[in-house]
Amino acid sequence: MKTRRLTMAQALVSFLTHQYVERDGHVSAFFAGMWGIFGHGNVAGIGQALQQTSDFRYYLPRNEQAMVHTATAFAKMSNRLRAFACTSSIGPGATNMITGAATATVNRLPVLLLPGDIFARRNVAPVLQQLESEHTQDISVNDAFKPVSRYWDRINRADQLPFALMEALRVLTSPAETGAVTLALPQDVQAEAWDYPEELFDKRVWHIARPRSDRALFERAGQWIRESKRPLIIAGGGVIYSGASAALARFVERTGIPVGETQAGKGSLAFDHPQNLEAIGVTGTPGANIIAREADLVIAIGTRLGDFTTASKTAFQNPDVRFININVAAFDAHKHSALPLIADARAALEELTEALEGYRVSDEYAARITHFKEQWSAERERLFNLRHGPPISQSEVIGAVDNFSRPQDVVVCAAGSLPGDLHKLWRARDVKAYHLEYGYSCMGYEIAGGLGVKMADPSREVYVMVGDGSYLMMSSEIATSIQEGTKLNIVVLDNHGFSSIGGLSQSVGSEGFGTDYRYRREDTGQLDGEPLRVNFAANAESLGAHTIRAVTRDDFERALDTARRNDRTTVIVVEVDKEMRVPGYESWWDVPVAEASEVEAVRRARAQYEKATKKERYFL
């Protein structure tokens, strides 16, 4: 057997360079490179290996959490067919990545994490940044990655690496099992050499299969659909990841079945498709939620059926409602006691289209779908054109960006009140035009995520929409976008606090406590003084961005035009009225209210809460 003597870190980087994926006959390199911040836990191992490897690109971020978000967004934009690796030192550098790992795993997106680790040989312990335990020596902060990783391993010997890598790639390339994969790398082992088999570094192609469902279950699903009078499809992210949008369009055009889209599934159909009722659930449109309430059959495709989609199990009120779940993951396919079709979304839709030849919903049902679409189109136009303020309304800012952007452009967001408003209002005209991280709804994802989106497809204009709260948590990757020449259009909506949680706090009777950016008053002892003003434009300019302040809607529209013509990242700061909210429609979210309180508003909210929870259903 031919071997090559390499350090463990050199072998790892060489292996990653030669990994490919194949789906539908198209082969592409799986890893686009590695993000990393170096410290004593990886500088002499992974750092040295990257330095001498010219065909595996290294990227320097400003924050370890941010680099994982960038990698996650890149994988999402690439339909999970490409990924990044991320490396950090042991200690705070490693633990900074845990939030990013959770974001990737919750959203079922592949990212390889390579944190440095404590010395395997132990004789110099405790080393700088080492967490000690009086109960075991076989523990480090990297054990905290276990619950947020789909696969976790610690490489304590150089000869363990090949076996860990095979398992890591199996998980990363699996549509059903993918998420964050963590390989903890002790810093001494990274630098140790071993004679690795040459075949470890051969080109390896991982096939992405399109599994078909069990035939008996498939036939029963076809029967259920034919029997249904008011069927509804919920399109999740799995529709987009499997490239099933065209198949979904053919299926609903033949059957007339309406579609409601989750956050991850928005864009599965163009917003103006006759069967697309758009957003569903807590942040849904009236039509989608009314149809869901009355549906006798729900066909969930590629969705986790999270609480926002199901309105905390209150969305489906038909006592006879049945569920068919199409999903590559058995875990998700069985939710709601559904008929589980464990299958690739595109493959299942193509087969169902053929099997249901001749089936179509009634004319009456089709007319209701058309009515709801027309109704929502008028409501959206109203919200886009309020002409409120200044400060202007958030819906007007969204409308201006929506009207200005082109079909191929991408909007990126993650947390706060913006995702709910975007889910309802954004007119997705392209399958990749809407990029929301809402599985984890991680504040700070937005700018780093926008960077990953732009790197995945540089031909598109990327519009990052971020609230002032998320911006303050992580604006550092503006500097990375300047460094890499990766242009972003960033819209910072300044509402002087946490608008989303402020509204939620008001709804549960807590009057927005702790959600405004205000000075503390000596007489009350509370943060209820004058608003705290932050110069976001000056901050962004200091990181290298071109900056524009907008006050009126006309100012903002001119700023969008300037940003598009600029050749570097541009940050537009616009103040919005946080109390001018987009309504909720025909839906509810379970946020428990204090059962006992001296505050009358809380008591009223509790009474409403107890009434609403009675609509929650058990699908056993």
pLDDT 10s digits, 293-349: 999 999 999 999 999 999 999 999 999 999 999 999 999 999 999 999 999 999 999
Helix axes 394-404, 553-565, angle to 10 degrees: 40
How much is the pLDDT for 501? 86
Calculate mean pLDDT across residues 400-413: 98
Per-residue pLDDT at 500 exceeds 90: no
3-class SS shares of the chain: helix, strand, coil, % to 5: 40, 20, 40
Per-residue pLDDT at 508 exceeds 90: no
Number of Cα atoms under 13 Å in the Cβ half of residue 284: 34
CA distance 187 to 165: 18
How much is the pLDDT for 509? 85
Q: Which amino acid type is present at position 78?
A: S
How many other CB atoms are there within 10 angstroms of residue 190's CB atom?
29
Whether residue 175 has a cis bond before it, omega within 30° of 0: no
pLDDT digits (tens, 9 = 90+) for 248-272: 999 999 999 999 999 999 999 999 9
The first and second tokens of residue 39, run together, are 């410290």
Calculate mean pLDDT across residues 451-456: 98
Calculate mean pLDDT across residues 541-558: 97
The first and second tokens of residue 363, run together, are 């004319």
Strand order in the sheet with 19-23: 26-29, 19-23, 204-207
Residue with tokens 């993650």: 414
- Average pLDDT over all residues of the chain: 97
How much is the pLDDT for 549? 97
Number of Cα atoms under 13 Å in the Cβ half of residue 553: 19
pLDDT digits (tens, 9 = 90+) for 137-188: 999 999 999 999 999 999 999 999 999 999 999 999 999 999 999 999 999 9
pLDDT confidence bin for 86, thresholds 50/70/90 = very high
The first and second tokens of residue 322, run together, are 């049945």
CA distance 36 to 46: 9
Distances in whole angstroms, Cα of residue 31 to Cα of each of 4, 75, 287: 22, 10, 42
Beta strand segments in 249-379, E? 259-261, 276-279, 297-301, 322-327, 339-342
The first and second tokens of residue 287, run together, are 């039509």
Q: What percent of the chain has pLDDT over 70?
A: 100
Element (H, E) at 221: helix 215-227
How much is the pLDDT for 510? 86
CA distance 563 to 574: 14
Q: Using the 8-state DSSP alphabet, how is residue 182 labeled?
A: E
Domains delineated in the chain:
3-207 (3.40.50.970), 215-375 (3.40.50.1220), 385-496+533-575 (3.40.50.970)
How much is the pLDDT for 417? 93
603 SS3 class: helix
How much is the pLDDT for 506? 87
How much is the pLDDT for 499? 83
Q: Using the 8-state DSSP alphabet, how is residue 576 labeled?
A: B
pLDDT digits (tens, 9 = 90+) for 467-496: 999 999 999 999 999 999 999 999 999 999
How much is the pLDDT for 220? 98
Calculate mean pLDDT across residues 436-453: 97
Element (H, E) at 28: strand 26-29
* Strands 26-29, 31-36: pairing kind: unpaired
195 SS3 class: strand
pLDDT confidence bin for 507, thresholds 50/70/90 = confident
Per-residue pLDDT at 591 exceeds 90: yes
Number of Cα atoms under 13 Å in the Cβ half of residue 202: 9
